[in-house]
Amino acid sequence: MIRKVIKGSVITDLLVKNPIDDYEVLDFEFLDEHINVISEETEGQNDVWKVHFDGAINLSGNGIGAVPVSPDRKYFPVAVKLRFECTNNVIEYEPCMSSLQAAIEMKVKKLEVYGDSALIIYQVKGEWQTKDPKLVPYQKYLLELIKKFKEISFTHLGHDKKYFADVLATLVVMTQMEERQEV
């Protein structure tokens, strides 16, 4: 505590001994003087995040990719190699859930979700029923995650509109990882 007092007094002494003689008050020009009110319509439009998700499954393994994109277009790629066997439909639910979990952790309130899985998009929208008993817990969990957003929308992208998430998922599957055992 003594050091802070000494440092503070040194700065004060320096300023007292070296006054600024030609100090001028800054002149701020307000170029937008004609603007009196900022419309509420513009508020909140810039806080919508986007996320693209995809899964990959092949002989090398399973992987997921998700790319949350902030309103100012910053990318936060997520890639995970899954260490369990899963079906094609499960491999689509995993990245969708992971992308929503990442958005929740980032405190995102408004989200646009994009994926090439018609199954997930239309099941979440309530247009298709979940018949596979393995998928029911996934759908229930996904619906619980959705409740944590103020606004959320889901859009189906055709397979012809591949995105960075697809590349991430494929790359993570191709990556050879060694399991490390704790001693």
Share in percent of the chain as helix, strand, coil (round to 5): 35, 20, 45
Residue type, 127: E
Q: How far lies 140's CA from each of 93, 97, 178, in Å?
A: 11, 11, 33
pLDDT at position 92, please?
Answer: 85
For the chain, the distance separating the N- and C-terminal CA atoms, rounded to the nearest angstrom, is 45
The pair of structure tokens assigned to 145 is 């995650």
The answer to whether the beta carbons of residues 65 and 53 sit under 8 Å apart is yes
pLDDT at position 40, please?
Answer: 45
Tens place of pLDDT per residue across the chain (183 aa): 455 444 556 666 666 676 666 666 655 565 555 555 444 443 445 789 998 888 887 777 788 888 888 999 888 888 787 877 878 788 888 889 989 999 999 999 999 998 888 888 888 888 888 888 888 898 899 999 999 999 999 988 876 555 555 555 555 555 555 555 565
Q: Name beta bridge partners: 69.
A: 50, 75
pLDDT at position 100, please?
Answer: 94
pLDDT at position 178, please?
Answer: 53
pLDDT at position 142, please?
Answer: 92
Domains of the chain: 46-174 (3.30.420.10)
* pTM (two decimals): 0.65
The one-character DSSP state at 45 is G
How far apart (Å, rounded) are the C-alpha atoms in residues 106 and 103?
5
102 contact partners, CB below 8 Å, separation of at least 6: 51, 66, 68, 76, 78
How far apart (Å, rounded) are the C-alpha atoms in residues 50 and 41?
20
